Amino acid sequence: MDDIVLQAMAKWPNVPHCYGWLALDARGTWRMRDEAAQRADAPGDKLTNTALVGFINRNYLADERGCWYFQNGPQRVYVNLEATPYIARTDPQQGLVLQTGRAAGSVEHVYMTEAGAIVVQAGDALAQLDDRDVAQVLQAMTLDGKPVADEALLAWLEGGDSGAGAGRLALRWQGREIAVERIAAAGMAQRFGFVPRPDRLPGTT
């Protein structure tokens, strides 16, 4: 966290929290949601100012409820998440990089939703892969040790533990083979303990 933020928090410790004004989309873009966007439940405008985006990235945290926020000076600006708390992109040197700019580190678990979204768990970060990088990562997946074809992958996504769609899907990544687990997109927040829409929690305005 930036020193200037820590100083502001100490000087003004009781500033009300802000909900609904900031969102992180599924491609890792920060979006500002004005009152019109909030009324329409729209994504909001993309933030493109490099200094502002960097400031948000450096001061992005989670509270004890699993709500993610940007500490803007003395005020917590809570973030609506379209997907997961982090969004990852592939990087030739670092493997995966989060939207905050830091390397994701060693991937420990890999999941795939019913819609084909890829989610990874790396250390303290749960990150959905930017959909523009999914095709590249799919090329590193195998089913029962063989390169996975599109039809076989669809059958695996739709199948259970036996019959059509059975088999071991794995990701070969950075010299390791990591099993891929099916996961329901709707159940991720509860399973991993994060709140996608803090603005809808009881008591928020």
Sketch out the chain's domains with CATH numbers: 3-83+194-200 (3.10.540), 86-192 (no CATH)
Instruction: Give the pTM.
Output: 0.89
Percent of the chain at pLDDT > 70 equals 89
| Confidence band of 74 (pLDDT split at 50, 70, 90) | confident
Transcribe 17-80 into DSSP letters.
PEEEEEEE-TTS-EEE--HHHHHHT---EEP--HHHHHHHHHTEEE-TTS-EEEEETTEEEEEE
Give yes or no for residue 162 having a pLDDT over 50. Answer: no
pLDDT for 12: 44
Percent of the chain at pLDDT > 90 equals 81
pLDDT for 73: 83
pLDDT for 165: 58
pLDDT for 117: 97
| Confidence band of 156 (pLDDT split at 50, 70, 90) | very high
Q: 10 φ, ψ to 5°?
A: -70, -35
Distance CA 108, CA 10 (A): 37
- pLDDT tens digits for range 20-70: 999 999 999 999 999 999 999 999 999 999 999 999 999 999 999 999 999
Give yes or no for residue 127 having a pLDDT over 70. Answer: yes
